[in-house]
Structure 1
Amino acid sequence: MFKNYIKTAFRSLKKNKGFTIINVFGLALGLCVCMLIVFYVVDEVGYDAFNTKADRIYRVNNDIKFGGNTNSYAVAPPPLAQTFVNDFPEVEQAVRFRDRGGFKVRKGDENVQEPNVLYADPQIFDVFTLPMLHGDPNTALKNPRSVVINETTAKKYFNTDDAVGKSLTLNDSLFYKVTGVIKDIPKQSHFTADFFICMTDLPESKEDAWLSNNFNTYILLKKGSDVNRLSAKFPAMVSKYVGGQLQAAVHMSYEQLEKGGNYFRVSLTPLRDIHLTSNRVAELRGNGNIQYVYIFSAIAIFILLIACVNFMNLSTARSSNRAREVGVRKVLGSPRKYLIAQFLSESVIVTFIATVIAIVGAWLLLPYFNQMADKQLAFTASTIPWLLPALLVTTLVIGCLAGSYPAFFLSAFQPVDVLKGKLSSGFKGGFLRSFLVVFQFSISIFLIIGTLVIYHQLKFIQNKDLGFNRDQVMVINNVDVLGNQAKVLKEELSQLPGVVSTTMTGYVPTSGWRNSSTFFQDATRDTKTALSTQVWDIDEDYIGTMGMKVVQGRNFSKAFKADSSSLMINEAAAKRLGVKNPINKELYYSLDNMAQKFKVFRIVGVVKDFNFNSLRENITPVVFFLNENRGSLALRLKATNTTALIAQVKAKWRSVSPNQQLNYTFMDEDFERSYRTEQRMGGIFVAFTSMAIIIACLGLFGLAAYAAEQRTKEIGIRKVLGANVSVIVAMLSKDFIKLVIIAILLASPLAWLAGRYWLQGFAYRDGIKWWIVASAGAGAMGIAFITISFQSIKAAVANPVKSLKSE
């Protein structure tokens, strides 16, 4: 019996080649998109899963409201890790990381800049699963001047992974002994490092500074510990340790601080949640976004639904053609269950063929998808155990669901009505088909509007006045490796004809290097008027080179020796101070982490607000010191022959330091990189939206073909009576166009609400313009009309003699 189902199903599918091809291709495209999205989602939710103790590892967070600012940090005070181990029996172990930027490492006669360097406590191997190939994880980072490197780094510097006992020279003067070689950290990790340096070598790691936050801290809970009960103890811990130093710094207890609306709060984030849910200050790596996982998962489901809807639509539309077949089968005694099995068999066969094509399509498209999504997804041996069963189940489920309505609908026909021709109603009267067409195009229009909203916001970001000029600015990184020669390089580069100006600082608006502190308006250190702010070291040339504007007072100048005790602030800081004219106002600044030593500075200028954070965040206060900082060297270039000028810069660099690598970027590229995630998501949206439209149009194409086929004789008669092509095209198109208009009316408000919700993640946004919705609607109408018109015109220009000769 089953063999007969298969044979009959193939005959039916072969007989209706056009509809079969549309169904197979539509389902294959939908399944292909789903497969790509599943790979993306599995990769995103799989971060940090390689840690065997991942379910017991938590990162410690610090939320601080003070001095008018509220900040959420992924870092904590130096003594917090050991305090957790000492004070809370639930905590089995704790470990800290400290990111101090990159190091230059000697390789032969050359110094190689290595950016992925972390200081780490010895307990790192007790908490995280970092398999050690060579060395003892129990002692690897216990002694000063010890470093653990990964397998790739060992081969890079020593041509072997067995590098234990060998030496590395860091920053020309620091000699480190390799005490361990670990496997490369998996890509699916929220932190990555090629070098782990012994934390003992960092003096600040030993400080009892509870008001300083610089260490990424993780705790490992004992089995069976209740994380909620542990978290409930944190307020008392903060009051005990932070409170004492707070009293010394600002002369008030922690309870008094909280009464003033300020707070220091410690919280925990599960390790597996960091990548998708955490976006705090001082993250060890750029994280993902759980919203995109939800969005793409929904898109996968919607596209698959569109493909299934095509199958149901075309199958029910063809019902009248197969009605006589059903009637004859029933007259000959075929039970309804056999008819249902027959039609479901056809559906499963179509789905199986589509699945095979989808697998091949996903394999071919995966490299392009990786490029768009910045992933390294691949079909590997590890994916087969879960992928094949999932595809098998998906094939059966989709095959049964997509074919369920046609199967039960067709098998319910009464033989008497069928054989009398009462069920050949054709296209008209198909409420379900109309509903499904509206559903398909509603999803397509929703995706079109979503794509346009993303691209409009990205264009707004690119064109917004940021308060500084990012164009034609070359940033040379890690200038500190030059030592005192950094000033020499700055002066020599300033003399190049193509260089407008130069500035040396570690703080540029598009970099991730930040530093925050607190100023007080008087010697009483009143927290009500405290100013929590960014603190940047700059030179006299900074404001001009960055294209910023001084709106009050003056810029730093070499002509004023007292500027070493002067400050400049931005407008946000001036607003926080609450004075109309802050020029010459004094601010008290702490010179140590314990807030025991203060120095008085005088404000000499106010800089127009500029966006140094993402446009997702509001501009916060910034204070500028006139101080030497060799973090980087920024050059404003003339917009002529940039390539030749870069060659001159490289030559100057080599003349000053022939053994150091030159590492540079351009500020506009750094800015674009900040929004690379949105750009990637926009590209993926375009691709998925295009596929959704193609699938929807395939169904519409099939329905239009069927409608034209059903009305062939009517068209012939109308043409004989004088109807022209345009009248017939309009007659065949109007029913479909009405459905698309309904879809536009339904999808537009929902898309507007979803777009508005997404835009709320940006502090600076342009909103959703009316033309975005109008363009999406017009585009959908145009696409639908072109799809329908192909079949309508084909039917309208056909010779009426052929359709009427049998009458």
Structure 2
Amino acid sequence: MIRNYLKTGWRNIIKNKGTYSLNIIGLALGIASVIMIMLYVLDELSYDRFNEKADRMVRVVFKAEVNGEQMKEAVVMAPVAQILKNDLPEVTKATRLAKSYNNRLEYNGTYHGQSDLGYVDPNFFQVFTLPIINGNKNTPLDKPNSVVISESLADNIFGKNDPIGKTITVTNRDEQLYVTGVMKDIPKNSHFYFDLLVSTLGYEQAQKTSWMESDFFTYLVLKEDAEIAQVEAKLPAITKKNMGPQMMEAIGMSYEEFQKDNDIGLFLQPLTDIHLHSDFFDATTLEQGGDIKYVYIFSAIAVFMLVIACINFMNLTTASASKRSKEVGIRKVLGSNKNQLIYQFLAEAFISTIIAAVLAIVLFALSIPLFNQLAGKTIEFTTILNPVYLLSLFGLIFIITVLAGSYPAFYLSSFNPLNALKSKFSGNGKGSGIRSGLVVFQFVISAGLILATLVVREQMNYIQNKDLGYEKDQLLVIKDTYLLENNEDNFIQEIENDPRVASVTHSAFVPAGESDNEVGGTFQNGEFLRRMYFYNVDENYIPTMGMDLLQGRNFSKEFGDESDKVIINEKAAEILGFGKDAIGKTFQRDTNEGLKDITIIGVIKNFNWKSLHQEIEPLILKKNPYGGIILRSKTADMSGIIETLDTRWNQYNPREALNYSVLDESFKHTYLKERKMGTILSIFAILTIIVACLGLFGLVTFTAEQRFKEIGIRKVLGSSATQIVALLSKDFLKLVAVSFLIAFPLSFYLMNRWLQDFAYRITIQWYLFVMAAVITLGIAFLTIGIKSFKAASANPIKSLKTE
């Protein structure tokens, strides 16, 4: 019987290939979208779950609000791990990780470039599930300077030779590391990635007892029955006990006094929340991280795409009921019962879904490279061959069959056989009302996505064109110039002599992209005020960056040593209480030698030196150039300058490539996640409206067929093609217009929520709604108009001669 249903269903699909082609294409786009987004979402949700104890692991983080400064850091103080392990019975293990920068490796006199290196406690491999495949698998880090390296690094440095017992040199620190183990490469769905993990035994920073310096990522393993909230409730007392005495010594204020006007403390973050739920500053994170909002957005898009495709199936199938009415009548007269007819129509839906699924897999394979580029993933086609994913795909096919096929099956099987044989079916009434509602739903999603895409584009344009307080165009950043050692000054001199270069500044501090960061405590009259960021610059920094000096003067070689002089931004002048009268005023900075008086010689206009997600913060410029170069080009074409710089760099340091970035591109990269979201939204907005228009095209086709004779009569009586097109279009365009009443308020609410993530943002203007409406109506009218014009241009004699 099942075989007969499938055979008959296939014949009906072939017979009505026009209708089913639209159904299959729509379903294929929906299924392909679901597959792609499902793999993306599963990948995002899988971060750090490879760890066997992941559900019991937490990271200790630091949050505070001090005199208006919002402090959110993923690193905490060196002694925190051991103290929490000792004081909290719920903690079974505690371990630390510290990231090291600019690590240059050498083995047997051969240079092997820079690699990611982290210092970890000896028990690190007992906490994280990172399999050691060679060497000491139990206690690989129980001696100072012992190191476990990744499988990839081992292959790169040692090839087929056994690396165990060999010595790697970190040349920039003259540090000898002894290889005790080789681990499998850290999975890509980890919130950290390192090629070398070095023991903290012998690492000076790890021995500190200060609760006033944050350097370590700290992780705890809790007992199985431990509640995170209950453990976290004990942290304030531990913080007060250990930080209080040191706070009095450091800032001259007791912990109780400090907490009256401020809020400071440690908190726990579940390990599996780190990737998607972190809001820490980039300088204190190990990865850029994802965003749970985008997981929700893309999941919703996948569901909507699938629902829209299923709606198309229902609409087109029920709209073609007039063609199937005689078939239903004959089947019922010949003895078919309602259940048999339902099974028959479900069989057709099943076959259509199977074909659509095969086509979807082809579309998935073709679109993987583009999607990986946009989403920053490495999804492979073979991923879908995982038995779990294949089973999920079959489950999806079943759901679609039931979802898309049930209503048409019950609807068509309910026809009265006598009326069906007499073709007394017009497609109007209750069925028509349901189809209209489904069309409105489709275009609610389509119009909403179009409006969302326009809002994202507008915000990105605003960011790109906003006055940042500096001129980001034609700036080239040369990184890590300290690698040139004694030749650094010669390299800078050669750049200054290049006629294509307008100006050069010696600094590793840039307002976009990767930058050095220095934070210091500031005091007034010996009393702690708050932490502020410091930029180490030279006298050419302000003119090269195109910043505005509002008061006072710039640094100058004419004044000799200016280590006790600073230039501040307007925000710092406001917080220090100097307002517009800051020149000559002094305050103190906390240094290794104690509090040091510094004098303000200039005030610069506020500039956005962090992401536009954040408000402008106080900034202090001090004269202490090192580590990098920023040059302003006289020409927009920097390729020639970069080529010259590369040649000169290789003369001084042939071992390492020139590391550079164009500041404007670094600025754009800061908002790469938002730009990618905008692009993906655009693609899915296009796909949803394509699928919706496929259904609209089919509905117009059947409407034109049902009104075939009416159109012929109207043409004979003098109606023009334009009038007939308007006649067939108006009802559908009304439905599209009605969808705006639902789509626009909903999309406005959601996009306004998204914009709240930006401290500097647009206001959603009325013209964006008009643009979204025009685009949606235009595409819908084009879809309707093509078929309507064809129907209106048909010879009326053909429609009337059968009467």
Q: Distance in 1 between matches of 2:567 and 2:254?
A: 31
1:253 paired to 2:254: yes
Helix, strand or coil: the match of 1:190? coil
1:545 paired to 2:535: no
Deviations 1:22-70 (A, max 9, x none): 1111111110111110011111101111111111211111002223301
Deviations 1:602-655 (A, max 9, x none): 11111111111111111111112212432x222222216533322322233233
Contact 2:318 2:431 in 1 (8 A): no
**Number of the residue aligned with 1:34:** 34
**Number of the residue aligned with 1:345:** 347
Matched AA of 1:805:
K
**Number of the residue aligned with 1:513:** 516
**Number of the residue aligned with 2:690:** 694
**Number of the residue aligned with 2:503:** 501
Structure 1 stretch displaced more, 479-488 or 55-64? 479-488
Superposition deviation, residue 449 in structure 1:
0.6
Contact 1:112 1:660 in 2 (8 A): no
Matched AA of 1:418:
A
Q: Distance in 2 between matches of 1:441 and 1:382?
A: 31
Give the direction of change, closer, same or farther, for the CA distance of 1:28–1:79 in structure 2 (3 Å limit).
Answer: same
**Number of the residue aligned with 2:571:** 572
Structure 1 stretch displaced more, 296-305 or 740-749? 740-749
Q: Distance in 2 between matches of 1:156 and 1:751?
A: 51
Matched AA of 1:275:
H
**Number of the residue aligned with 1:703:** 699
Helix, strand or coil: the match of 2:141? coil
Q: Distance in 2 between matches of 1:304 and 1:267?
A: 41
Deviations 1:237-261 (A, max 9, x none): 011011111111223221221112x
**Superposed counterparts of 1:627-646, under 5 Å:** 627-630=624-627, 632-639=628-635, 642-646=638-642
Q: Distance in 1 between matches of 2:108 and 2:666?
A: 31
Superposition deviation, residue 457 in structure 1:
0.8
Contact 1:102 1:113 in 2 (8 A): no
Superposition deviation, residue 233 in structure 1:
0.7
**Superposed counterparts of 1:703-742, under 5 Å:** 703-742=699-738
**Number of the residue aligned with 2:389:** 387
1:218 paired to 2:219: yes
Superposition deviation, residue 340 in structure 1:
1.5
Contact 2:426 2:706 in 1 (8 A): no
Structure 1 stretch displaced more, 320-329 or 611-620? 320-329
**Number of the residue aligned with 1:647:** 643
Q: Distance in 1 between matches of 2:305 and 2:112?
A: 48
Helix, strand or coil: the match of 2:629? strand
Matched AA of 1:203:
E
Helix, strand or coil: the match of 2:511? coil
1:765 paired to 2:764: no
**Number of the residue aligned with 1:73:** 73
1:609 paired to 2:616: no
**Number of the residue aligned with 1:669:** 665
Give the direction of change, closer, same or farther, for the CA distance of 1:425–1:561 in structure 2 (3 Å limit).
Answer: closer
Deviations 1:140-174 (A, max 9, x none): 33333333221111111121373122222222533
Contact 2:483 2:653 in 1 (8 A): no
Q: Distance in 2 between matches of 1:229 and 1:462?
A: 45
Gaps of 5+ in 1: none
Helix, strand or coil: the match of 2:105? strand
Q: Distance in 2 between matches of 1:425 and 1:35?
A: 35
**Superposed counterparts of 1:109-148, under 5 Å:** 111-148=111-148
Structure 1 stretch displaced more, 645-654 or 184-193? 645-654
**Number of the residue aligned with 2:587:** 587
Matched AA of 1:604:
I
Superposition deviation, residue 428 in structure 1:
9.8
Structure 1 stretch displaced more, 47-56 or 4-13? 4-13
Structure 1 stretch displaced more, 330-339 or 231-240? 330-339
**Number of the residue aligned with 1:48:** 48
**Number of the residue aligned with 1:168:** 168
Helix, strand or coil: the match of 1:200? coil
Matched AA of 2:199:
C
TM-score (norm 2): 0.96
Structure 1 stretch displaced more, 730-739 or 472-481? 472-481
**Number of the residue aligned with 2:402:** 400
1:445 paired to 2:447: yes
Matched AA of 1:96:
R
Matched AA of 1:117:
L
Superposition deviation, residue 519 in structure 1:
0.5
**Number of the residue aligned with 2:797:** 801
**Number of the residue aligned with 1:783:** 779
Structure 1 stretch displaced more, 455-464 or 164-173? 164-173
Contact 1:68 1:576 in 2 (8 A): no
Match of 2:623 among 619, 622, 626: 626
Matched AA of 2:483:
V
Contact 2:65 2:71 in 1 (8 A): yes
1:371 paired to 2:373: yes
Give the direction of change, closer, same or farther, for the CA distance of 1:718–1:398 in structure 2 (3 Å limit).
Answer: same
Q: Distance in 1 between matches of 2:35 and 2:656?
A: 46
Contact 1:498 1:640 in 2 (8 A): no
Give the direction of change, closer, same or farther, for the CA distance of 1:607–1:711 in structure 2 (3 Å limit).
Answer: same
Q: Distance in 2 between matches of 1:639 and 1:110?
A: 39
**Number of the residue aligned with 2:337:** 335
Contact 1:517 1:532 in 2 (8 A): yes
Matched AA of 1:258:
Q
Structure 1 stretch displaced more, 579-588 or 32-41? 579-588
Q: Distance in 2 between matches of 1:642 and 1:512?
A: 21
Q: Distance in 1 between matches of 2:657 and 2:422?
A: 87
Matched AA of 1:531:
R
Q: Distance in 1 between matches of 2:613 and 2:45?
A: 24
Contact 2:105 2:115 in 1 (8 A): no
Helix, strand or coil: the match of 2:39? helix
Match of 2:475 among 473, 476, 481: 473
Helix, strand or coil: the match of 1:474? strand
Match of 2:361 among 359, 362, 376: 359
Aligned-pair RMSD on alpha carbons? 1.9
Contact 2:508 2:515 in 1 (8 A): no
Aligned length: 798
Structure 1 stretch displaced more, 695-704 or 501-510? 501-510
Matched AA of 1:309:
I
Q: Distance in 2 between matches of 1:512 and 1:93?
A: 34
Give the direction of change, closer, same or farther, for the CA distance of 1:682–1:568 in structure 2 (3 Å limit).
Answer: same
1:276 paired to 2:276: yes
Superposition deviation, residue 129 in structure 1:
1.1
Helix, strand or coil: the match of 1:452? helix
Helix, strand or coil: the match of 1:649? helix
**Number of the residue aligned with 2:323:** 321
Matched AA of 1:318:
S
Contact 1:161 1:181 in 2 (8 A): no
Helix, strand or coil: the match of 1:507? coil
Superposition deviation, residue 656 in structure 1:
2.9
**Number of the residue aligned with 1:94:** 94
Contact 1:500 1:636 in 2 (8 A): yes
Structure 1 stretch displaced more, 241-250 or 39-48? 241-250
Helix, strand or coil: the match of 2:382? coil
Give the direction of change, closer, same or farther, for the CA distance of 1:371–1:244 in structure 2 (3 Å limit).
Answer: same
Contact 1:616 1:764 in 2 (8 A): yes
Superposition deviation, residue 557 in structure 1:
1.3
Give the direction of change, closer, same or farther, for the CA distance of 1:411–1:604 in structure 2 (3 Å limit).
Answer: same
Matched AA of 1:701:
F
**Number of the residue aligned with 1:198:** 199
1:756 paired to 2:752: yes
Gaps of 5+ in 2: none
Give the direction of change, closer, same or farther, for the CA distance of 1:690–1:598 in structure 2 (3 Å limit).
Answer: same
